[in-house]
Amino acid sequence: MNNSLVSIIIPTKNAGTFLENCLKSIKIQTYKKIEVLIIDGNSQDQTLSIAKKYKATVIQYNPHVPKGLFDAPHRRNYGVKKAKGAFVYYLDADMELPKGLIEEAVAFCTQKFDAVILPEDSFGVGVWARAKNLERRCYWGDDTIEAPRFFKKSVWQKVGGLDESLGGGGDDWDLHQKLLDKGYKIGRTKSIVMHNEGDLRLGKLFRKRYMYGKDSIKYVSKRPKAGVKSYIPFRQAYLKNWRLFVHRPEDTFFFIVMRSTEYFAGFSGIIVSAVKNEKLLEK
pLDDT the model gives residue 275:
79
Rounded to 5°, angle at Cα 54 from 51 and 57: 55
**36 within 8 A of 23, measured Cβ to Cβ:** yes
- Name the 3-class secondary structure at 198: strand
The length of the chain is 283
Q: What is the pLDDT of residue 177?
A: 95
Q: State the pLDDT at residue 279.
A: 62
pTM over 0.75: yes
d(CA 204, CA 99): 30
160-194: b (≥16 Cβ within 10 Å) or e? ebbbbebbbbbbbbbbbbbbeeeebebbbbebbbb
Q: Which residues 6+ apart lie within 8 Å of 102 measured at CB?
A: 6, 26, 29, 30, 31, 34, 89
Rounded CA-CA distance 204/189 in Å is: 30
Looking at the structure, give the CATH architecture of the domain made up of residues 6-282: Alpha-Beta Complex (3.90)
At 283 the pLDDT is 58
pLDDT by residue for the chain (283 residues), tens digit each? Answer: 557 999 999 999 999 999 999 999 999 999 999 999 999 999 999 999 999 999 999 999 988 776 766 788 999 999 999 999 999 999 999 999 999 999 999 999 998 999 999 999 999 999 999 999 999 999 999 988 999 999 999 999 999 999 998 876 789 999 999 999 999 999 999 999 999 999 999 999 999 899 888 888 888 889 988 888 888 888 889 999 999 999 999 999 999 999 999 999 999 988 987 777 666 555 5
- CA dihedral for 63, 69, 71, 77, sign (positive or negative): negative
Q: What's the pLDDT score for residue 68?
A: 62
Rg, C-alpha atoms of the chain:
19
